[in-house]
């Protein structure tokens, strides 16, 4: 039982990372109703943009992160304008969207590898990821105690902050209400005078910003590589589906459930099976509760 506290902390950290990815993915899915796989590559774009601004151009850390988040948002918006918007105008099927987004994913990932090489890079200047906090000291009944790094704490807090901000945006602002209207029925939303193209563009911008932030934070926690997007995306998708697709809170719940199952799973089996465990969980949910924990 000695590692139990650390295991719980690790699960929560993993859950927080998946939360970030799942929130943006869910926002986009909830609005346009297709699986935007290109979203995964945007996490890597965010990580590399921060790397470019901070390490290559030597800009201030906070400024680099803000610039990187906006740049990722802009790229997400641009992809929507260039690809998805046209497909929507043609009323393409979901499969077409899925394959097109797969193409976008492959393209972005390969471009990153060309410009930045496919080597693993770290974003943080000190390898340990900043200060380390001890949550529980070693005690007699809890065993070894648990630690969390500064970056991981920031990940946890920003996950919660973004969830809160997004919930506020969706509930309280006109823009948020317009998003909900488009999500419910794009045609009707158009009829009542909502500029749906603009709203959807906005959703892609915000979603991509969240993806970018997730990529940056993961970059500070572990590091960045062009292929990082796939596993983050897949975890985000799994979290969204098991939590309840298209539902922002459901995604958060799913993310933490996934974090716990994964970490406790590898405690019993072994680390390499993490992905298999995650996808096993997805299949179990798809079979027995396809609507997820929170039905929309």
Partner 1 sequence: MEYLIHLAILVGIYAILGVSLNLVVGFTGLLSVTQAAFYGLGAYTTALLLVNFGVNFFLAAIIGMILTAMISFLIGLVLSRFRGDYYALGSFSFNIIIYSVFLNWQAVTRGPLGIPGVARPSLFGLTFSSNFSFLLLTLSLLLLTFLFTRWLTVSSFGRVLKAIREDETALQVFGYRPIHYKLVIFVIGAALAALAGALFASYITFIDPSSFVLFESIFILAIIILGGLANLKGSVLGALFLILLPEALRFVGFPSDVAAQMRQVVYGLILVFLMLYRPQGLMGEYKL
- Which parts of this chain interact with partner 1 (CB under 8 A)? 34-35, 83, 86-87, 92-100, 102-111, 113-114, 117-118, 230, 234, 237, 241, 270, 272-273, 275-276, 279-280, 282-283, 286-287, 290
What DSSP element (H or E) covers 148? strand 146-149
Beta bridge partner(s), residue 133: 148
> Residue 241 — φ and ψ, nearest 5°?
-70, -45
Sorted by sequence, the CB contacts under 8 Å of residue 270 that are 6+ apart come out as none
Give the residue with the Cβ less far from partner 1, 35 or 53: 35
Give the residue with the Cβ less far from partner 1, 65 or 112: 112
Give the residue with the Cβ less far from partner 1, 110 or 191: 110
Q: Compute the least distance from the CB of residue 85 to partner 1, in Å.
A: 11
Q: Compute the least distance from the CB of residue 1 to partner 1, in Å.
A: 27
Give the residue with the Cβ less far from partner 1, 84 or 220: 84
Q: Compute the least distance from the CB of residue 256 to partner 1, in Å.
A: 20
Sorted by sequence, the CB contacts under 8 Å of residue 84 that are 6+ apart come out as 32, 36, 97, 100, 101, 204
Neighbours of 119 (CB within 10 A): 10
Q: Compute the least distance from the CB of residue 118 to partner 1, in Å.
A: 7
Give the residue with the Cβ less far from partner 1, 129 or 244: 244
From the number of C-beta atoms within 10 Å of its C-beta (0-12, 13-18, 19+), residue 160 rates as middle
Q: Compute the least distance from the CB of residue 117 to partner 1, in Å.
A: 8
- Of residues 188, 164, 166, the one with CA closest to residue 176: 166
């Amino acid at each position: 039982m000695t590692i139990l506290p650390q295991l719980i902390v690790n699960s929560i950290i993993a859950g927080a990372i998946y939360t970030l990815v799942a929130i943006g993915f869910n926002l986009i899915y909830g609005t346009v109703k297709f699986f935007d796989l290109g979203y995964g590559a945007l996490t890597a774009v965010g990580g590399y943009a921060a790397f470019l601004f901070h390490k290559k151009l030597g800009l201030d850390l906070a400024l680099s992160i803000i610039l990187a988040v906006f740049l990722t948002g802009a790229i997400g918006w641009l992809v929507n304008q260039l690809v998805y918007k046209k497909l929507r105008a043609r009323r393409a099927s979901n499969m077409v969207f899925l394959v097109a987004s797969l193409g976008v994913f492959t393209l972005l990932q390969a471009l990153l590898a060309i410009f930045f090489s496919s080597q693993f890079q770290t974003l943080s200047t000190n390898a340990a990821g900043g200060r380390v906090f001890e949550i529980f000291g070693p005690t007699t009944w809890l065993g070894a105690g648990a630690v969390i790094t500064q970056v991981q704490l920031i990940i946890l807090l920003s996950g919660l902050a973004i969830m809160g901000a997004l919930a506020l945006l969706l509930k309280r602002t006109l823009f948020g209400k317009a998003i909900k209207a488009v999500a419910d029925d794009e045609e009707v939303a158009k009829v009542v005078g909502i500029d749906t193209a603009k709203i959807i563009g906005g959703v892609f911008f915000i979603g991509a910003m969240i993806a970018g932030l997730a990529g940056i934070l993961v970059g500070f926690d572990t590091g960045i590589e062009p292929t990082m997007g796939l596993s983050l995306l897949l975890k985000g998708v799994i979290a969204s589906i098991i939590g309840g697709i298209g539902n922002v809170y459901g995604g958060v719940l799913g993310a933490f459930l996934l974090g716990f199952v994964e970490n406790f799973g590898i405690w019993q089996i072994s680390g390499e099976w993490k992905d298999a465990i995650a996808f096993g969980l997805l299949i179990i949910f798809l079979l027995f509760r396809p609507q997820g924990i929170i039905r929309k």
